[in-house]
Structure 1
């Protein structure tokens, strides 16, 4: 099926480009006797197993792509919507577009092992620029769209970017403000919208794609063939919650091996998967899931609209109907809130049927989790009356696996979806492990566990305490090469035996499932010397009081624990939290004869009904505490919810504790002023 996109998306005409793909011999590894490096042009020794999983022949990104094109060249690869119409590229067309982009980068003077920064929302151009950069021998570097000009400058400078690919004028302005501080920058490419002003070395996507016409296939193939699986091809920058972001160096083998390992473990069907790309591609989770696993298993990846997380995601889900779906916890929480709002308005027989069905759904999901064949009586009817309709309404009717990752998710949210017979499978890993290290899936999962390690990977728990908690350490071919130009940071992360230290605390159950119990750097050590992991306490508070949006536990080097609390509110189109209470909170207030519709109204009067409900919820959490030191003594409500624009949350909605502590220092100090 031919592509229907416009010239500005495709670039030069596909039919004028010869089909150059062919199966090359396996690329030999470049000699190396070190497991890590911080130099962009140095290879590493792979953590190869002698046999079985982990012993597979290493391949490059290009070889993985070639194999897919050879067998699935006419299969739909990328889909995107313009002016109400879906457009498509087949795998053959996608591959040729990537070669064209690679030639364009070479024409612009991309030097080997130098960066190509991509700053924009998910799109075919993002994928094509990414793969094209790798083909051309560069280091592809995603830059978060929420970055300030200064943060963009840091990443672009650190990776010595020769080219920056930006989505639109809004992102271009950021780069223009700092381009004089980027000595390696040779060109900028804008892939959406017309240029508002023509500037030297600034190109439209169409202009960029036409640049490669003077570069021969032989010249590009020579660059491709010179690449080895144990060399760096991608940089993933950490969010920089403490200090400057670190450039995580990933090799071809890191990416190709983990993509095959995860897809094989979860039994993906070659050519049968449908994915939806909407999470930031600068983050390793989205990049591995959407791009690389998709490429390995010839999936069809559709792109959401840029305002996906502001409201349009639901509509796109219903159109695309993915076969698997990855959401960060906040995405699932928003779905839960929306469905609860609808459910709160349901009465009479309809409500009774829904409650009955959800009880059966939870029982059936638990039975499946425990690998029993018992199906609750009446489940078929509940499935027909409720569950199928819910899945259809969510766009998950053919979704075989719903995943959650990048941050902790509450038990309440997991059990809510289980009651709808939609189990959420937790995935655990880091940028430094090329994404997933542990995976839950329908044949192997437990509530609140992140599953078991991907076959071929190894886990050990370091410095075990009396309860079996220890630091989670990873080993395998997915472990990164090192942090770019940061040898000391790399030594902190990777020990002399090649184990990656995650900084997370965890424990195994008797069946080998891994449970995350805290984070070493986040552990609160009270003035009395008590070690308190904040996340479990924070999750319990949010479960007990559903009108709470975000919380942060305070107490490091303090005499007691305190907590910052925000209420759920309406978020505007820019992602900024407003003063308007969410429908769920408004309903909560109305049920208690409170007429407030704004956060400020609750705060100004310290509305007794709301404050009492929060205190009662905290009291229930305190009743479960293992010691007095783990009880919350004081709390305060903040005037505004945490958000990415506000700086309290990172791009994947992870809490930035140092920032919050500094921003709300006066509120925190007030807790302890009289002690």
Structure 2
């Protein structure tokens, strides 16, 4: 019999592995370790503090913070009362924070630091239901009603002296069908919707994953994707805790490379952006190296690809290929493995499609990437490639406790214990995505092959229909573009148009190196856009991609984005998906110019 709820799963670690290191974080330049007993004791005090404030079953607590141990403990503390932690991305603007906090009717708000406190203060008087405000890293001057998180723990200590078994008693009341959280989808269109997920949704997903993937207490996760996003919350928070693994919190997204060297993780979860950047950096270094180094690298890569294709197709390995692969590993691949810490058992990729070329490259180098697929509304995992059962360009077979089918129009549908209850206070929106038979309509287009592997071709809403009636999936083309040496980001345009065009963000570091070889120096993105020859350089990259496309899919023209797409400038969601409508609107005039020919 599995756990009844997620708080029980967490609190169990105090009995089953009290002295095991559960969490690590960096403070004053040094990594600190927290045992499971210390973590649970801390969370229990926070839970009791919330109870002292009157927080009870089904109440909501909002949190706006980057990844840190307080985030994790606040989640379990809130859940232990049968209440729900509602994450708010720390990158959101004040009016977006106000919408989510008011929509979920939060009673308590937890903020990370002075930056987030100042953001909340702008809309504080408009927060209708929040009665208590706490901050993790308190500024020197803390104005009422704000209090330090330590004050909440102190309230909890007093509460536990009077009612020592209260939290344990409350945990026993929480059932699998009870609501665990509301997660607001960042959404590439429209206002966010709050997906209501139960303890059973998450636990079923954990159980499904563990039915096909081996994870151990000895594993170390490096957590850097936002815990506000369901992908990290499930994998680098709930799943890791279920197994008693250690979670180390990266200092920031900018320090991930250094933190990998320090922590030497065994498992790491990421969106494709990280793998694309590593891939681009490796190829850049190779191309700048001497001819012999380049020759050895591409020989090793060829051997690796041949080796991996034997493994993928489950064919016996020829003796000579084994020998060549061992040599390739010794000469080339072990250096890449060391760059990511030297102990990675596997990476996990999700949140957006991973290029088949990049997946093959990493696997050839002895770094397996298990690409999976899912959505906020599905807790999230629907399918995943496995270490011994994978295909490049596919997102794997369904989990054992998950159903998947393709609808008549090509849309992917899924059913099972992983599907959300619905959207909070949005009954009509819920009925649009969950039909009478319990099938959740994902909005993604795909196919299932003869081996049961799912392939995503694009978002239903993203499909481009040219004026000539041709259907084009832009995502695979964009994936091909960003895996070229000099292109960092790309958006393909062409709906209701005669032909396809693209908005391109050149890869600054790669172009900078290219410019230096031409005797030119650039220091900023704007200076890069002024470079003579940049248009021709990118045109060559696009022409290489066009060679592998049907004629009606080819990119006929392109423009440069004025700046890289980012969360701050509004073109990316917090989970790094491109908001196509925002991009198209921002570059509307430039796009029209391309179609005047």
Q: TM-score range by the shorter chain?
A: over 0.9
Task: Confirm or deny: 8 A CA contact 1:505 1:517 kept in the other structure.
Answer: yes
Task: Confirm or deny: 8 A CA contact 2:211 2:400 kept in the other structure.
Answer: no
Find the counterpart in structure 2 of residue 226 from structure 1.
Answer: 173
Q: Is 2:538 aligned against 1:614?
A: yes
Find the counterpart in structure 2 of residue 11 from structure 1.
Answer: none
Find the counterpart in structure 2 of residue 100 from structure 1.
Answer: 45
Find the counterpart in structure 1 of residue 329 from structure 2.
Answer: 383
Query: SS at 2:400's partner residue?
Result: coil
Q: State the TM-score, normalized to the length of structure 1.
A: 0.84
CA drift at 1:84: 2.5
Query: SS at 1:378's partner residue?
Result: helix
Worse-matched range after superposition: 93-102 or 282-291: 93-102
Find the counterpart in structure 2 of residue 662 from structure 1.
Answer: 585
Find the counterpart in structure 1 of residue 497 from structure 2.
Answer: 558
Find the counterpart in structure 2 of residue 368 from structure 1.
Answer: 311
Find the counterpart in structure 1 of residue 279 from structure 2.
Answer: 336
Find the counterpart in structure 1 of residue 143 from structure 2.
Answer: 199
Query: SS at 1:376's partner residue?
Result: helix
CA drift at 1:485: 0.5
CA distance in 2, matches of 1:561, 1:347: 38
CA distance in 2, matches of 1:562, 1:392: 40
Question: How many aligned positions are there?
Answer: 591
Q: Is 2:590 aligned against 1:672?
A: no
CA distance in 1, matches of 2:516, 2:154: 61
Task: Confirm or deny: 8 A CA contact 2:134 2:146 kept in the other structure.
Answer: yes
CA drift at 1:408: 1.5
CA distance in 1, matches of 2:356, 2:519: 30
CA RMSD of aligned residues (A): 2.0
Q: Is 2:459 aligned against 1:515?
A: no
Q: 1:421 aligns with which of 351, 366, 372?
A: 366
Find the counterpart in structure 2 of residue 25 from structure 1.
Answer: none
CA drift at 1:596: 5.6
CA drift at 1:199: 2.1
CA distance in 2, matches of 1:501, 1:59: 28
Task: Confirm or deny: 8 A CA contact 1:449 1:514 kept in the other structure.
Answer: yes
Q: 2:526 aligns with which of 582, 600, 603?
A: 600
CA drift at 1:268: 1.5
User: CA offsets, 1:580-631, max 9 Å, x none?
Assistant: xx1x1123345567666654345446x3x33223333333434443353x23
Task: Confirm or deny: 8 A CA contact 2:490 2:504 kept in the other structure.
Answer: yes
Query: SS at 1:165's partner residue?
Result: strand
Find the counterpart in structure 2 of residue 121 from structure 1.
Answer: 66
User: CA offsets, 1:619-666, max 9 Å, x none?
Assistant: 3434443353x2323221222111121111111211111111121121
Find the counterpart in structure 2 of residue 38 from structure 1.
Answer: none
Q: 2:197 aligns with which of 244, 250, 261?
A: 250
CA distance in 1, matches of 2:199, 2:372: 22
User: CA offsets, 1:24-59, max 9 Å, x none?
Assistant: xxxxxxxxxxxxxxxxxxxxxxxxxxxxxxxx6672
CA distance in 2, matches of 1:246, 1:563: 30
Find the counterpart in structure 1 of residue 28 from structure 2.
Answer: 83
Task: Confirm or deny: 8 A CA contact 2:266 2:346 kept in the other structure.
Answer: yes
Residues 353 and 526 (structure 1), Cα distance of their counterparts in 2 relative to 1, 3 Å cut = closer
User: CA offsets, 1:141-173, max 9 Å, x none?
Assistant: 111010001111111111111111111000011
CA drift at 1:229: 1.0
CA distance in 2, matches of 1:358, 1:622: 24
Specify every segment of 5 or more residues in structure 1 that has no aligned partner in the other structure, as ranges: 1-55, 465-469, 570-581
CA distance in 2, matches of 1:248, 1:266: 26
Residues 68 and 218 (structure 1), Cα distance of their counterparts in 2 relative to 1, 3 Å cut = closer
Q: Is 2:405 aligned against 1:460?
A: yes
Residues 592 and 283 (structure 1), Cα distance of their counterparts in 2 relative to 1, 3 Å cut = same
CA distance in 2, matches of 1:155, 1:208: 23
Find the counterpart in structure 1 of residue 82 from structure 2.
Answer: 137
Q: Is 2:469 aligned against 1:542?
A: no
* Structure-to-structure mapping, 1:484-523, within 5 angstroms: 484-523=424-463
User: CA offsets, 1:75-95, max 9 Å, x none?
Assistant: 111111211322222222222
CA distance in 2, matches of 1:649, 1:422: 28
CA drift at 1:354: 3.0
CA distance in 2, matches of 1:598, 1:83: 32
Residues 652 and 495 (structure 1), Cα distance of their counterparts in 2 relative to 1, 3 Å cut = same
CA drift at 1:124: 0.9
CA distance in 2, matches of 1:136, 1:556: 50
CA distance in 2, matches of 1:342, 1:627: 33
User: CA offsets, 1:65-106, max 9 Å, x none?
Assistant: 244443222211111121132222222222222211111111
User: CA offsets, 1:417-472, max 9 Å, x none?
Assistant: 234222322111000110111111211111111111111111100015xxxxx211
Worse-matched range after superposition: 79-88 or 368-377: 368-377
Q: 2:564 aligns with which of 641, 645, 667?
A: 641
Q: Is 2:102 aligned against 1:178?
A: no
Q: 2:106 aligns with which of 161, 171, 177?
A: 161
CA distance in 1, matches of 2:100, 2:114: 19
Q: Is 2:400 aligned against 1:443?
A: no
Query: SS at 2:458's partner residue?
Result: strand
Worse-matched range after superposition: 343-352 or 660-669: 343-352
Query: SS at 2:347's partner residue?
Result: strand
Q: 1:586 aligns with which of 501, 505, 512?
A: 512
User: CA offsets, 1:105-124, max 9 Å, x none?
Assistant: 11223243222111111111
CA distance in 2, matches of 1:351, 1:524: 39
Find the counterpart in structure 1 of residue 465 from structure 2.
Answer: 525
Query: SS at 2:211's partner residue?
Result: helix
Q: State the TM-score, normalized to the length of structure 2.
A: 0.94
CA distance in 2, matches of 1:619, 1:359: 24
CA distance in 2, matches of 1:611, 1:632: 14
Find the counterpart in structure 2 of residue 315 from structure 1.
Answer: 258
